[in-house]
């Protein structure tokens, strides 16, 4: 991580640059992958090259516009971001949910590449830190494919591995026992479709949410299959999962290689699969980074702080 400094003593100019409730600042952070803070009589810009240089140039250009106009409009910020290489084609990347004219748009160039990879490949493996949209965008693409009748059903899969704490005995039937592990996938779908629609899909088996262990022995045709938290699979489990794919199906595997909950002596099936399969035609590997984090603005800084403090191995959970 490197730092660039832009001297500035005009506090009003800084407020204009940041925008109302820091709206412009958030857009710059998310689109260009840099951290911008006002400290004393300077703006500090932190990031990795070439993001840092692009961020510095964008901030200097916006400061020039703000000095000239006395105000910064949204279109000014959009124009500068586009020239800095941080813009995306929102129209072509939009994911239509066919639900009351709802659509979901990737918010960073990395997310747009991820969506395009899913459209163009039958198997996509996506890695990245917490909050970069790996699971959410995969579920959106699954809903889109099903509603366009490209697939007949959606299967959402997760390994039932505890995240560093023992949950002990869980009461209830199978669904109740695995619900804590599978809940993030269901939350994503509930955010896109109304509750009754999701319930009908699940009751009719159009949408199936299952733990990884229950995939053994199955062949899934015309199905959009998502494996979430794949860093917690073993090599054997990953091979088992990928070979469930039948005719007309699409597979998306997501995970964060820095957040494995497997025992230290057990290799991750996700890292192994990326190494083995990335050269195969029809398989795409997408690596998202901190610049693709689109949760609360602090999430990116939290992830960075953990990575700095642990030699690149993050402990921040989703």
Length of the chain, in residues:
318
> Which of 61, 86, 64, 62 has the alpha carbon at shortest distance from 74?
62
**Tens digit of each residue's pLDDT (9 = 90 or more) over 247-262:** 999 999 999 988 888 8
Question: Which tokens belong to 278?
Answer: 């990335």
Residue 238 lies in a domain: yes
Give the lowest-confidence range in 39-48, 72-81, 84-93, 148-157. 84-93
Residue 314 lies in a domain: no
Same-domain check for residues 161 and 250: yes
Residue 118 lies in a domain: yes
**Tens digit of each residue's pLDDT (9 = 90 or more) over 8-46:** 989 999 999 999 888 888 888 877 778 899 988 999 998
Give the model's pLDDT for residue 290. Answer: 79
Residue 315 lies in a domain: no
CA distance to 20, 37, 51, 55, 303, per residue, from 74 (Å) = 11, 20, 21, 17, 28
Residue 217 lies in a domain: yes
Same-domain check for residues 27 and 70: yes
Same-domain check for residues 85 and 138: no
Same-domain check for residues 77 and 111: no
Same-domain check for residues 122 and 53: no
Residue 317 lies in a domain: no
Per-residue burial over 52-75, b = 16 or more CB atoms within 10 Å of its CB, e = otherwise: bebbbebbeebbebbeeeeebeee
Task: Supply the DSSP symbol for 106.
Answer: -
Choose one of 36, 63, 90: the last residue of a domain: 90
Q: What CATH number corresponds to the domain at position 246? A: 3.40.50.300
Same-domain check for residues 112 and 83: no
Same-domain check for residues 108 and 83: no
Choose one of 66, 90, 114: the last residue of a domain: 90
Same-domain check for residues 212 and 244: yes
Query: Rounded to an integer, what distance in angstroms lies between the CA atom of residue 241 and that of residue 219?
Result: 10
SS3 category, 244: coil
Q: What CATH number corresponds to the domain at position 8? A: 3.30.1370.10
Same-domain check for residues 11 and 150: no
* Total tally of structural domains belonging to the chain: 2
Query: Rounded to an integer, what distance in angstroms lies between the CA atom of residue 42 and that of residue 11?
Result: 10
The answer to whether the CB of 170 falls within 8 A of the CB of 240 is no
Q: pTM for this structure?
A: 0.67
The answer to whether the CB of 221 falls within 8 A of the CB of 247 is yes
SS3 category, 24: helix
Give the model's pLDDT for residue 213. Answer: 87
Domain span holding position 136: 104-308
In the block, which residue shows the tokens 């813009």? Answer: 87
Task: Please give the average per-residue pLDDT across 138-167, as a whole number.
Answer: 81
The DSSP bridge pattern shows strands 103-104 and 95-96 to be antiparallel
Residue 315: pLDDT band (50, 70, 90) is very low
């Amino acid at each position: 991580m490197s730092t660039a400094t832009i001297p500035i003593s005009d506090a009003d100019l800084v407020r204009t640059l940041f925008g109302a409730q820091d709206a412009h600042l958030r857009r710059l952070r998310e689109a260009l992958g840099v951290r911008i803070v006002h400290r004393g009589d300077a703006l500090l810009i932190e990031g990795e090259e070439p993001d840092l240089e692009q961020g510095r140039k964008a901030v200097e250009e916006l400061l020039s516009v703000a000095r000239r106009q006395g105000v910064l409009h949204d279109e000014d910020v959009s124009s500068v971001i586009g020239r800095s290489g941080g813009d995306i084609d929102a129209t072509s990347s939009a994911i239509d949910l066919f639900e009351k004219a709802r659509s979901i748009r990737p918010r960073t160039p990395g997310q747009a590449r991820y969506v395009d990879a899913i459209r163009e490949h039958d198997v996509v493996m996506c890695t990245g830190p917490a909050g970069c949209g790996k699971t959410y965008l995969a579920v959106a693409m699954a809903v889109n494919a099903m509603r366009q009748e490209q697939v007949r059903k959606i299967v959402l899969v997760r390994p039932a591995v505890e995240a560093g704490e023992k949950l002990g005995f869980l009461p209830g039937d199978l669904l109740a026992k695995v619900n804590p592990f599978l809940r993030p996938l269901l939350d994503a779908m509930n955010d896109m479709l109304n509750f009754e629609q999701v319930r009908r899909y699940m009751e009719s088996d159009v949408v199936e949410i299952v733990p990884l262990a229950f995939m053994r022995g199955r062949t899934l045709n015309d199905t959009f299959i998502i494996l979430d938290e794949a860093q917690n699979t073993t090599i054997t489990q990953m091979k088992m999962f990928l070979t469930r794919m039948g005719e007309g199906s699409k597979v998306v595997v997501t995970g964060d290689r820095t957040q494995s909950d497997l025992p230290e002596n057990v290799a991750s099936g996700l890292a192994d699969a990326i190494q083995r399969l990335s050269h195969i035609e029809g398989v795409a590997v997408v690596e998202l980074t901190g610049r693709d984090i689109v949760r609360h603005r602090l999430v990116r800084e939290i992830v960075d702080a953990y990575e700095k403090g642990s030699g690149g191995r993050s402990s921040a959970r989703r």
